Amino acid sequence: MGKHETRANRRERVPGWAQRIVPSREALVQNRFVSPLAARSELWRYTRRSVPRGVAVGLFVGIFALIPGVQIVGAALMCVPFRANVPLAAAATFLSNPATTPMILLAALWVGSFLGLDADLTTFQALIDQGAGLREWAAWLVSSAAPALVLGLFVISFVSAVVGYFAAIILWRLWTARRRRMRLVRAAEAPDRG
């Protein structure tokens, strides 16, 4: 396989479940709502600059928004000004999921309180113990916890985005170095076969 591989060869490397649930770029271009986003090919390429940006955008939006439908759409829209990779940004939003959201909320409240905004954590624990309803939770959030929660979410999402950005840079360099080594090994073995 040469420098340029065909679309069919690329799709063979994608697991079957991902091929079924992830729409192709061509299908997205046909959709009138997302076609302006899908038509920009630089947002769909995996490059050394777009990959870390995509991870950072996805982590920031995924943690800060915490609303399932808004996360992916928000991450995709934020990819435009940052020229980030849309598929990776969408995938990174899944860091916040039903299993991790309670921990993220508790950490955000703690960070917000640590930074000087008052979030009554004893009332938070009491609401959990009582099995409070939506009305009680809303009253607590509006009272004093909202500023602490928003500040905490912002700090955690920003730090996560920075860490994810640099981790993606390191992983990209390791991956490309491995591919280069494999290519050199294949080139060295090629004359021996003939």
CA dist 151 and 159 (Å) reads: 12
CA dist 31 and 89 (Å) reads: 20
- Asked whether the predicted pLDDT for residue 78 surpasses 50, the reply is yes
pLDDT-derived band at 1 (thresholds 50, 70, 90) equals: very low
Q: Which pLDDT value is given to residue 98?
A: 87
- Asked whether the predicted pLDDT for residue 24 surpasses 70, the reply is no
Q: Model's pTM, two decimal places?
A: 0.75
Q: 98-138: per-residue pLDDT in tens?
A: 899 889 988 998 898 898 887 777 777 788 788 888 888 78
**CA dihedral defined by 140, 144, 145, 150, rounded to 10 degrees?**
130
Residue 189 structure tokens: 């073995």
On average, the pLDDT of the chain sits at 82
CB 113 within 8 A of CB 83: no
Residue spans per domain, the chain = 26-193
- Asked whether the predicted pLDDT for residue 171 surpasses 70, the reply is yes
Q: Which pLDDT value is given to residue 59?
A: 96
Q: 37-47: per-residue pLDDT in tens?
A: 777 778 888 88
Q: 178-189: per-residue pLDDT in tens?
A: 999 999 988 888
- Asked whether the predicted pLDDT for residue 11 surpasses 50, the reply is no
pLDDT-derived band at 16 (thresholds 50, 70, 90) equals: low
